[in-house]
């Protein structure tokens, strides 16, 4: 059948299983939008292109499918950049489609022309500039293949406007042939896996470090089987949270800069560390030369460039985590490690004395808010957190029960991520409860997307942890920069009234006694709800590892006298 380029794009997206696209129209994609009503794809009109990329990212993280965002040329394309970089740092499968000026204007500084392929080269797995309609269908097929295979990530396709208008007899490409792209295959590494099994069977104080790769591989069941068969406790990275239910007795929660104290002690005292799908980033390791000093390290990752990049391993295995665990499990002996688990229990008890929820206070503290959201949802909600203190409090005090239960910007740390990403998650999982936890600073970066929530009739719940500061920077200023709060006091609006102006039910909570009723009211409301929690302004995140310190050298919450 004869189709123009715009229709070939939509036809190709349908054949890739795309159901939702997040975008904003413009002159360089007007042909695409003209053809859109002819196709069964739901378009979500965002209010800013950065939010479109975050929404596609949130959709991808919540569903495991490739997220798709769409923007016009020039500023439309450049506005995607932060969202693309966020997806790249966190290995989120994304295809970003941008319009470009007609081919005969490329390189002539035409109106709204920008070299978006050059700009995004360092933050995409691959990108394309399409100037020939004959290459269009194959380019789209290749882009989706690259985005979802191996270590997932974003791919950008920049399509000239005249290519979208040109016509061609369309035939679906039969497959892809990319000699220059060879994602790691499920290699025969039986000897390495046997060696890994021997190390695990011989270990006296083993520890699993579960990263985002466990979730990306869909290996949650195998991780649990490993932990339970060999009785090995599990520490997660921030993005590895939900790989194992956090109420599981072997789950120690998150480690690292703001990780649980007992998790950090376990990392430092383990004699074997089984690192699954993680990249040993600096927020996890602290001072690298003092990280896990007693442990032999088994590092399993699908991306060979991560092996040895930050932390040297004793046994490196390039493999899909799920495939590795399925091969490993039959080789393992059942074990118990009673002395090791007793030691961890002692660290847990010591940590409880520093937990603010175990200290009596009538103040409206954020930890209490997050824990009450957990109680109300039973740990079954998809939680989408922004960046900063609110991100860490969510990671510490919401106990995630379900896989893909926490979506957050880990590597790039993008403020403003949560609200649009939650929109994407809700679109991908319409029958699930989705909560966004945001600070008053991050929310104001993408607050315009409240209009998208209303336009799409999404039942999203939004918890604003409002302390009147750029909170994490203020905490650093307090602890390391003589409490000189320069550039961090933050004026914000009445968020409940702003929500109501958009057509969202808004609540303001200023007292601890109001927290549970407000959350219950939000849960009982069919549509979207925003709750503005006026929390203690100078509440800090504890524990905290200072820059350059080892992860066991934590700043702890002062205990009451």
535 and 475 both lie in a single domain: yes
Q: Is the pTM of this model over 0.95?
A: yes
* Closest alpha carbon to 184 in 315, 86, 276, 300: 300
In whole angstroms, what is the distance from residue 198 CA to residue 338 CA? Answer: 19
Of the chain, the percentage scoring pLDDT greater than 70 comes to 99
Strand partners, 98: 71, 158
Full strand arrangement of the beta sheet holding 529-534: 406-408, 382-385, 434-439, 461-466, 529-534, 505-509
Answer for the pair 211, 240: CB distance below 8 angstroms, yes or no.
yes
Q: State whether 141 and 233 are in the same domain.
A: no
The stretches in the chain having pLDDT less than 50 are none
Q: Which residue range(s) make up the domain with 132?
A: 2-169
Q: What is the pLDDT of residue 139?
A: 98
CATH code: domain of residue 247: 3.40.50.1220
Whether residue 310 is found in the same domain as residue 372: no
pLDDT given for residue 252 in this prediction: 98
In this prediction, residue 561 carries a pLDDT of 63
Same domain? For 250 and 290 the reply is yes
Answer yes or no: are the C-beta atoms of 532 and 508 closer than 8 Å.
yes
Please check whether residue 321 is in contact with residue 150, taking contact to mean a CB–CB distance below 8 angstroms.
no
- Exposure string over 325-353, b if 16+ CB within 10 A, otherwise e: bbbbeeebeebebeebbebbeebbeebee
**366 and 308, same structural domain?**
no
CB 207 within 8 A of CB 295: yes
Q: What is the CATH number of the domain that holds 20?
A: 3.40.50.970
pLDDT at position 1 is 85
- End residue of a domain, out of 135, 169, 203: 169
Provide φ and ψ at 398, rounded to 5°.
-100, 120
Residues 160, 202 within the same domain: no
- Residue position matching structure tokens 């090791």: 340
One domain for residues 135 and 198:
no
Residues that are catalytic: 49, 111-112, 161, 472
Chosen domain end from 350, 375, 396: 350
What total number of domains does the chain contain? 3
SS3 401: coil
**CA 452 to CA 470: how far, in whole Å?**
25
As a whole number of angstroms, the distance between CA 393 and CA 68 comes to: 30
The pLDDT of residue 78:
98
Q: Give yes or no for a cis peptide into 543 (omega within 30° of 0).
A: yes
Question: Is the same domain home to 164 and 202?
Answer: no
H-assigned helices in 256-296: 261-269, 282-285
Q: What is the pLDDT of residues 504-523, one digit of tens each?
A: 999 999 999 999 999 999 99
Inside any domain, residue 548? no
């Amino acid at each position: 059948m004869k189709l123009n380029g715009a229709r070939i794009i939509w036809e190709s997206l349908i054949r890739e299983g795309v159901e939702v696209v997040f975008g904003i129209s413009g002159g360089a994609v007007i042909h695409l939008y003209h053809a859109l009503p002819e196709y069964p794809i739901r378009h979500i009109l965002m209010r800013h292109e950065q939010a479109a990329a975050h929404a596609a990212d949130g959709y991808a993280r919540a569903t495991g499918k490739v997220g798709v965002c769409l923007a016009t040329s020039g500023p439309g394309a450049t506005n995607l950049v932060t969202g693309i970089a966020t997806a790249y740092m966190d290995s989120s499968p994304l295809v970003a489609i941008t319009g470009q000026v007609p081919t005969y204007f490329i390189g002539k500084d035409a109106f709204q022309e920008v070299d978006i392929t050059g700009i995004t080269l360092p933050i995409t797995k691959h990108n394309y500039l399409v100037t020939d309609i004959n290459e269009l269908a194959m380019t789209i097929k290749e882009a989706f293949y690259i985005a979802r295979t191996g270590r997932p990530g974003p791919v950008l396709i920049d399509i000239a406007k005249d290519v979208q208008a040109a016509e061609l007899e369309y035939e679906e490409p039969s497959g892809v042939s990319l000699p220059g792209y060879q994602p790691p295959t499920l290699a025969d590494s039986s000897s390495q896996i046997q060696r890994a099994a021997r190390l695990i069977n011989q270990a006296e104080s083993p520890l699993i470090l579960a990263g985002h790769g466990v979730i990306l591989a869909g290996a949650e069941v195998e991780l649990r089987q490993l932990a339970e068969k060999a009785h090995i406790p599990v520490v997660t990275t921030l993005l590895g949270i939900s790989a194992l239910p956090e109420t599981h007795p072997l789950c120690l929660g998150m480690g690292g800069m703001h990780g649980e104290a007992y998790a950090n002690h376990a990392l430092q005292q383990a004699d074997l560390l089984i690192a699954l799908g993680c990249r040993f980033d600096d927020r996890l390791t602290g001072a690298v030369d003092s990280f896990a000093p007693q442990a032999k390290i088994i590092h399993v990752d699908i991306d060979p460039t991560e092996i040895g990049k930050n932390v040297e391993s004793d046994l490196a295995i390039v493999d899909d985590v799920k495939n590795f665990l399925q091969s490993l499990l039959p080789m393992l002996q059942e074990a118990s490690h009673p002395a090791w688990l007793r030691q961890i229990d002692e660290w847990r008890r010591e940590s409880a004395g520093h937990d603010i929820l175990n200290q009596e206070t009538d103040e409206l503290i954020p930890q209490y808010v997050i824990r009450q959201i957990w109680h109300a949802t039973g740990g079954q909600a998809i939680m989408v957190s922004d960046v900063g203190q609110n991100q860490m409090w969510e990671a510490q005090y919401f106990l995630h029960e379900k896989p893909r239960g926490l979506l957050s910007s880990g590597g790039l740390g993008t403020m403003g991520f949560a609200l649009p990403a939650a929109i994407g998650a809700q679109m991908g999982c319409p029958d699930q409860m989705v909560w966004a936890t945001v600070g008053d600073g991050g929310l104001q970066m993408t607050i315009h997307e409240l209009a998208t929530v209303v336009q799409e009739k999404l039942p999203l719940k939004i918890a604003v942890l409002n302390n009147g500061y750029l909170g994490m920077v203020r905490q650093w200023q307090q602890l390391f920069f003589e409490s000189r709060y320069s550039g961090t006091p933050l004026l914000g609006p009445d968020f409940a009234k702003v929500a109501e102006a958009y057509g969202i039910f808004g609540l303001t909570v200023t007292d601890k006694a109001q927290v549970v009723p407000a959350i219950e009211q939000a849960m009982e409301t069919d549509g979207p709800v925003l709750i503005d929690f006026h929390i203690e302004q100078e509440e800090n995140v504890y524990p905290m590892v200072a820059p350059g310190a080892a992860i066991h050298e934590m700043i702890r919450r002062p205990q009451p006298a």
